Amino acid sequence: MYHQFEFLERALSALRGAFSRKRAFEWFSTFVLGLICRPDRLGVASVMRALGLEPEAYGSLVELFRSGAWTAESLRRGWHAWLAGLPLLTECAGRLVLCSDGCKVSKEGSRMPGVKRLHQESATSSKGETIFGHMFGAVGVLCGTLGHCCCVPLKVNLHDGMRAAAGWEGSGVSAESHVVQSVRCAFEAARALGRACYLCMDRYFLAVPALRLMRELNAGAEADGLGANLVHIVTKAKSGCTFWREPPGREPGTRGRPRKRGARVRPSLECGSFEYAEVSARVGGRRMALGAATLDLLWGQGLYMPVRLVAVRGLGAKTQLLVSTDRSLSAAQIIELYSARWQIEVSFRDMKQEVDGFGYRFWSKSMPRLERFAKSSDPDRLESVSDAAARDAILSAADAIDRFVAAACVALGLLQLMALAEPADGDVAYSEFSRTPKAKSVSVRSMREWLRSHVSSFIHGATSSRMAAFIRKRLVREGGYAPKGPGPGRRRRR
């Protein structure tokens, strides 16, 4: 009955090396279990209610994210190493498939590090044009098959809002742009997984700095013996994007340098003149017959990187322009890879709605108060912080945010893997009504609800589980959450 909890405990045991102290690891495992099974999203207290922990456990759970026994980076290394040994990782043409994108999270804490005004590209009647919050960059790896997969988060961290702290001693904050950081994180993930990868990104990431960094990091990976072209990018072309044809060969007897580019191509204007062929590709879990035209061109002013452009008809009212830096891929493979990129958007939704991975509340009194009506030309408020102790307090709060999100990535990834392996006709599938059930597996929500309904029996009945034994010692006894009387410095109300 407890095989899902046994899988959860085995996976968490593989992360023991990320913690220098056993007690910190046990509290981390407890927090992840509570994060998965909690009935509401009201901070650390909801984890205590989900597991029935005694009130004294609150301080231990809060201090977990300030502990010196682990870091977010050590946790990610252990997480990547465990994922690298799974047989469920999605492959295409002998490479793993990574997805990367950005996520904006509304946060209005006036003294919370990293909060800034963010522009919403997809502004609707339900979302304002601008919000105040955090800008996260995320990289995940696909598990399953291209037609039936999930995007397990590898790294989700702040990419903006803390650049003024990049020069502080021991900050570890990057001053690079969001696009450049996303590509760098993808190469770190590929090195940790030990495999060549395809990186699927949105059209926002088709930028010269991203491709230039990809070329540099690929050269460095080849020098380290990891093979040529460790990471290839699959993305979408922006509207009005310009390409060039291959430069013609120099005629014998002519003088001058060889040309870097040939004739200019405007796909958005010339797509009607392309030669389309019918291809069969799996998009959104079902196979479709589409029209595709394939061209090998150059892209990037001053960069002129060889890419393969695929113009696709049948995916919408307009012709879609997909781009791959790997020219050996077929049109159908490029279409399937880019369509699988949507799984990272599903992961963002589950991160917010299922585990509430962005529900942290860490701030610092040393942080200057947020000025909501500041202009973009005004100096960053972090520039006014010069005291070393105040800087350490701000960096400690930002590090606590990073650890909380890293722990939530582990919780969501384990939920996704359990849901992916669960049969569609098993006990979990029928434990909760779903208006639109999946044909091949259960949803992350159904998996979480099943675990939540059985966590109490696991804690009390799994006598051989170390995690359950640790929690049993800290359960609320008879009397529930009744207060034990006023603490030091507190007065009774008359």
pTM across the whole model = 0.92
> What was the pLDDT predicted at 485?
44
Residues 428 and 441 sit within 8 Å (Cβ to Cβ): no
Would you kindly state where each structural domain of the chain is located, as residue ranges? Answer: 1-66+424-481, 71-236+341-374+381-421, 237-246+259-321
Residue 47 burial (10 A CB sphere; 0-12, 13-18, 19+): buried
Q: What is residue 39's predicted lDDT score, i.e. its pLDDT?
A: 86
472 is written with which tokens?
């049993």
DSSP, res 252:
T
Give the per-residue pLDDT at 477.
Answer: 62
pLDDT at residue 433 in the model: 62
CA 344/CA 351 separation, integer angstroms: 10
> What pLDDT, in 10s, does the model give residues 169-216?
888 899 999 999 999 999 999 999 999 999 999 999 999 999 999 999
Output the CA–CA distances (angstroms, integers) from residue 474 to 8, 51, 55, 195, in the order listed: 20, 9, 9, 42
Neighbours of 258 (CB within 10 A): 9
Main-chain dihedrals φ then ψ at residue 137, nearest 5 degrees: -110, 140
pLDDT score recorded for residue 97: 97
* Pairing between β-strand 130-145 and β-strand 197-200 as defined by DSSP bridges: unpaired
Residue among 31, 5, 73, 173 nearest 406 (CA): 73
HSE at residue 112, side-chain half, CA atoms within 13 A, is 19
Nearest partner of 19 among 63, 60, 55, 73, judged by Cα: 73
Return the pLDDT at 434. 63
Instruction: Report the greatest alpha carbon distance in the chain.
Output: 103
CA 433 to chain CA centroid, nearest Å: 29
Rounded to whole angstroms, how far apart are CA atoms 202 and 143? 19
Rounded CA-CA distance 225/345 in Å is: 34
Distance between CA atoms of residues 123 and 431, nearest Å:
37
Residue for token digits 């997984």? 193
Alpha carbon 423 to its chain centroid, in Å, reads 26
Q: What are phi and psi for residue 255, nearest 5 degrees?
A: -110, 165
- What element of type H or E holds 414? helix 388-421
Residues in the chain where the model's pLDDT stays below 70:
1, 123-125, 425-426, 429-440, 477-494
Collapsing DSSP to helix, strand or coil, 99 comes out as strand
pLDDT at residue 483, rounded to an integer: 43
**Cα 200 from Cα 344, distance rounded (Å):** 10
- Determine the 3-state secondary structure of 423 from DSSP: coil
